[in-house]
Amino acid sequence: MRESVQDCVDRIDQDRLWDRLMQMARIGAIPNNGVNRPALSADDIRARQLLIGWARARGFGIGVDAIGNLFIRREGADRASPPVMTGSHMDSQPRGGRFDGIYGVLAGLEALEAIDAAGVKTNRPIEVVAWTNEEGGRFQPCTMGSAVFTGDRQLENFLEVRDNEGVRLGDALAATLAATPDAAKRPLRAPVAAYVETHIEQGPLLEREHKTIGVVTGIQGLRWFNVEVFGETAHAGTTPLALRKDALRDAVAIINAIAELARDPSDVTRFTVGRMLVTPNSPNSIASHVQFSVDLRHPDPARVRHLGQSVEPLARTAAKACTVKVTPTLHDDPCVFDKSVVAAIEDAALALQLPNMRIASGASHDAMYLARVCPAGMIFVPCEQGISHNEAENAKPEDLAAGARVLASTLIELANR
Ligand code: GLV
Ligand code: MN
Ligand code: MN
């Protein structure tokens, strides 16, 4: 390992990284060590301001684009060349943990500070980015900021999306942008030289195999749908079953039909209904309207396509008394990361003598969209028992620091290519 790179990785400060993670975990803290920091909320704004404060203290540049993606920039020798980017997201699941997303942002800042403190000159600029609304817990769909940045989706199509309380995304976004008026305005679809995202694994493999670093090879495919069932409300005690248009009963029938479609003896197919809104939501009124999410995933593009194409016809057949509207909200084909970025991450882990293995991601990440416009890859670190999207999410400070070391080394390599 080159001396300057060694100096840089030696400057990764495990305690500073952990302390910042814990400071962020206080913003939107919920019981049992959990975090609820919805995208574009007051807590998201607080987290952004805390991050900007740390970045400004180092003299890094701050930028923001039209969907609120936040960029922290350290200049390269060639200021005009597209930057190497790293980052992740600061929003969380409603009952999320302290590491999903925010670790990738703070590992990026830690790497940038270490590179700066070591005085390493890179040819390309390096940027840390916090992508807006990766989780999709408040505003659907997920990975919104990165998909709008790459041009795969259009911001205009999301402005009218509403959260469970009826707040428009466009209004929440305007409030978020107004809270960082000093950030330089950045264009969408700007060229990127390469992208590396650091994340907790969110699964049990690294811990089980006693590996510190997961060199991520790709991400499985994903389909999301919003299903609406329209029935008619009536009295629960007086209305004969045969005369009902019970939206909830038909919703259950649809869910059972999709579960049958997703049945897989090898247990690779993933099927989740995680969100359901019932109207009028009263024990003794028949449901007039039900809205629920469908999340289907598989590593094979043909299987993802088949699953996706089957949802609407199945829903129509399964609904007996009600009408159904099926709206596709997301179609992400499986992604395979760039060989040279995967190799750069692996080489960095080997040079640091960190136990590592190649691993595929079951979870989606912003890296999936960046991989469409530039060479991209990801670094995983273990999390306790693979638990994630849960307040109990946990990771070891030394593993988190190790991930930041691999990141710093990889960023230097990519920024000098
Ligand atoms: C992101 O959290 C996902 O849904 O995989
Ligand atoms: Mn995440
Ligand atoms: Mn997540």
Using DSSP's 3-state secondary structure scheme, residue 207 falls into: helix
- 8 Å CB contact between 334 and 300: yes
Would you list the DSSP string of 3-15?
Answer: HHHHHHHHT--HH
Q: Which two three-digit tokens encode residue 382?
A: 């273990």
Work out the widest C-alpha separation in the chain, in whole angstroms.
Answer: 81
Residue nearest to atom 2 of ligand 1 (CA): 135
pLDDT at 4: 87
Count of beta carbons in the 10 Å neighbourhood of residue 24: 26
What is the Å distance from ligand 3's center to 90 Cα?
Answer: 10
**Which residues are CB-neighbours of 128 under 8 A, at least 6 positions away?**
55, 71, 72, 85, 86, 87, 105, 108, 109, 111, 112
What is the Å distance from ligand 1's center to 363 Cα?
Answer: 5
Which helix (H) or strand (E) segment holds residue 332: the answer is: strand 323-332
pLDDT at 97: 98
Would you list the DSSP string of 188-203?
Answer: TT---SEEEEEEE-SS
Contacts of residues 158-167 at CB distance under 8 Å and 24 or more positions apart, as own/partner, are 158/67, 163/38, 163/138, 163/139, 164/138, 164/277
* DSSP secondary structure letter of residue 162: B
Q: Digits of tens for pLDDT over the chain (417 positions)?
A: 788 899 999 999 999 999 999 999 999 999 999 999 999 999 999 999 999 999 999 999 999 999 999 999 999 999 999 999 999 999 999 999 999 999 999 999 999 999 999 999 999 999 999 999 999 999 999 999 999 999 999 999 999 999 999 999 999 999 999 999 999 999 999 999 999 999 999 999 999 999 999 999 999 999 999 999 999 999 999 999 999 999 999 999 999 999 999 999 999 999 999 999 999 999 999 999 999 999 999 999 999 999 999 999 999 999 999 999 999 999 999 999 999 999 999 999 999 999 999 999 999 999 999 999 999 999 999 999 999 999 999 999 999 999 999 999 999 999 999
Q: Which two three-digit tokens encode residue 333?
A: 């084909």
* 135 close to ligand 1 (CB < 6 Angstrom): yes
* Residue 267 burial by Cβ neighbours in a 10 Å radius (0-12, 13-18, 19+): exposed
- 8 Å CB contact between 348 and 128: no
Q: Which two three-digit tokens encode residue 406?
A: 């691999």
* 142 close to ligand 1 (CB < 6 Angstrom): yes
* 364 close to ligand 1 (CB < 6 Angstrom): yes
Q: Which of 100, 138, 142 to mutate to test the pocket of ligand 1 (most atoms within 8 A of CB)?
A: 142
Please tell me the distance from the alpha carbon of residue 357 to that of residue 216, in angstroms, as a whole number.
8
* Sequence-ordered strand ranges (E) for 231-311: 270-272, 276-279, 289-298
- Based on its alpha-carbon atoms, the radius of gyration of the chain, rounded to whole angstroms, reads 22
What is the Å distance from ligand 1's center to 372 Cα?
Answer: 18
- 8 Å CB contact between 227 and 251: yes
pLDDT at 2: 84
pLDDT at 1: 73
Please tell me the distance from the alpha carbon of residue 413 to that of residue 168, in angstroms, as a whole number.
42
* 39 close to ligand 1 (CB < 6 Angstrom): no
Q: Which two three-digit tokens encode residue 83?
A: 């930057």
Please tell me the distance from the alpha carbon of residue 142 to that of residue 315, in angstroms, as a whole number.
23
Q: Could you give the residue ranges of the DSSP H alpha helices within 135-195?
A: 144-150, 169-178
Residue nearest to atom 1 of ligand 1 (CA): 364
**Ligand positioned closest to the Cα atom of 295:** 1
- Residue in this structure with the two tokens 């024990």, named with its chain if needed: 283
**Which residues are CB-neighbours of 224 under 8 A, at least 6 positions away?**
136, 140, 141, 142, 293, 294, 295, 296, 328, 329, 330, 331
pLDDT at 49: 98
Which pTM value belongs to this model?
A: 0.96
Provide the β-strand partners of residue 272.
Answer: 295
* 45 close to ligand 1 (CB < 6 Angstrom): no
**Ligand positioned closest to the Cα atom of 104:** 2
What is the Å distance from ligand 1's center to 120 Cα?
Answer: 34
Crossing angle (nearest 10°) for helices 42-57 and 102-117: 10
Q: What residues sit around ligand 3, an ion, with C-beta below 5 angstroms?
A: 100
